[in-house]
C-alpha cells in the first residue's frame, strides 16, 4: 500500500475523531484540530511530504484555535459576571411595580429582565425608585433602596 494512502487514512481518522470529540465535549476546541487534520489529509492525497503535512496541521489548528479564543474572549467580556440568576446580586434595578409587603406585590427590572421583588426591610418602595439586589429567594429578588 502506498505510504501517502496510509497517511490519508490516518489524517482522515484523526479529523473524524476530533469532530466526534467536539460533539461530546463542552467548549469549542477540537473542531479546529479536525479542520487541520482534514487539510493535512488533502496534502497526503496530493502526495506531499509528511513534514509539510505536520507543519500545516499545526499552523492551521493553532491559528484557528488562537483566533477563536480571541473572538470568544471579546464576546464573553460583555456578559455580566456570575452564573445564572446569581449574576444579579449586587446589581442595580428599577422598580416597575410598587413593592408593597402587605399586598405581597412588586416588580423590578434588572438589565432587561423583570423579576418579582420584595423589600429587605418590609417597607414599600415606589415605582421608579432605584434598588440594589441583595439576594434571590426562589423566583423573586430581595432588594433595598439604592443609597445615594
Q: pLDDT tens for residues 96-131? A: 999 888 788 889 998 888 889 888 888 888 899 899
Choose the final residue of a domain: 53, 77, 101.
Answer: 77
Q: Are residues 73 and 100 in the same domain?
A: no
Identify which has the larger pLDDT, 35 or 4. Answer: 35
Per-residue pLDDT tens for 62-92? 999 999 888 877 776 655 555 566 777 888 9
Q: Are residues 63 and 91 in the same domain?
A: no
Choose the final residue of a domain: 58, 77, 96.
Answer: 77
Q: Which CATH number is 102's domain given?
A: 2.40.50.140
Contact 100/124 with Cβ under 8 angstroms?
yes
Contact 6/53 with Cβ under 8 angstroms?
no
Residue 57 and residue 44: Cα distance in Å, rounded?
11
In terms of Cα–Cα distance, which of 67, 61, 59 is closest to 34?
61
Range scoring the smallest mean pLDDT among 1-10, 12-21, 57-66: 1-10
Whether residue 33 has pLDDT greater than 80: yes
Q: Are residues 90 and 59 in the same domain?
A: no
Q: Are residues 70 and 95 in the same domain?
A: no
CA 89 to chain centre: 20
Whether residue 141 has pLDDT greater than 60: yes
The confidence score (pLDDT) of residue 62 equals 95
Integer angstrom CA distances of residue 126 from 23, 46, 50, 109, 123: 50, 74, 73, 13, 10
Q: Are residues 68 and 96 in the same domain?
A: no
Q: What is the mean pLDDT of the chain?
A: 87
Q: Are residues 71 and 102 in the same domain?
A: no
Provide the number of structural domains found in the chain: 2
Q: Are residues 49 and 104 in the same domain?
A: no
Contact 49/93 with Cβ under 8 angstroms?
no
Q: Are residues 39 and 64 in the same domain?
A: yes
75-81: long-range pairs with CB below 8 Å, 24+: 80/111
* Containing structural domain, residue 42: 3-77
Q: Are residues 59 and 91 in the same domain?
A: no
Bridge partners of residue 142, in order along the sequence? 118, 135
- Percent of the chain scored above 90 by pLDDT? 43
In terms of Cα–Cα distance, which of 93, 96, 88, 101 is closest to 131?
93
Choose the final residue of a domain: 77, 107, 133.
Answer: 77
Amino acid at each position: 500500500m502506498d505510504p501517502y494512502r496510509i497517511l490519508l487514512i490516518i489524517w482522515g481518522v484523526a479529523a473524524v475523531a476530533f469532530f466526534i470529540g467536539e460533539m461530546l465535549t463542552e467548549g469549542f476546541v477540537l473542531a479546529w484540530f479536525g479542520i487541520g487534520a482534514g487539510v493535512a489529509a488533502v496534502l497526503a492525497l496530493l502526495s506531499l511530504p509528511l513534514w509539510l503535512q505536520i507543519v500545516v496541521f499545526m499552523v492551521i489548528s493553532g491559528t484557528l484555535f488562537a483566533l477563536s479564543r480571541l473572538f470568544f474572549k471579546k464576546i464573553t467580556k460583555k456578559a455580566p459576571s456570575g452564573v445564572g440568576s446569581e449574576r444579579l446580586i449586587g446589581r442595580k434595578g428599577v422598580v416597575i411595580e410598587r413593592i408593597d409587603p402587605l399586598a405581597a406585590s412588586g416588580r423590578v427590572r434588572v438589565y432587561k429582565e423583570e423579576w418579582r421583588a420584595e423589600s429587605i426591610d418590609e417597607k414599600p418602595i415606589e415605582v421608579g425608585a432605584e434598588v440594589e439586589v441583595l439576594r434571590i429567594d426562589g423566583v423573586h429578588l430581595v432588594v433595598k433602596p439604592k443609597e445615594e
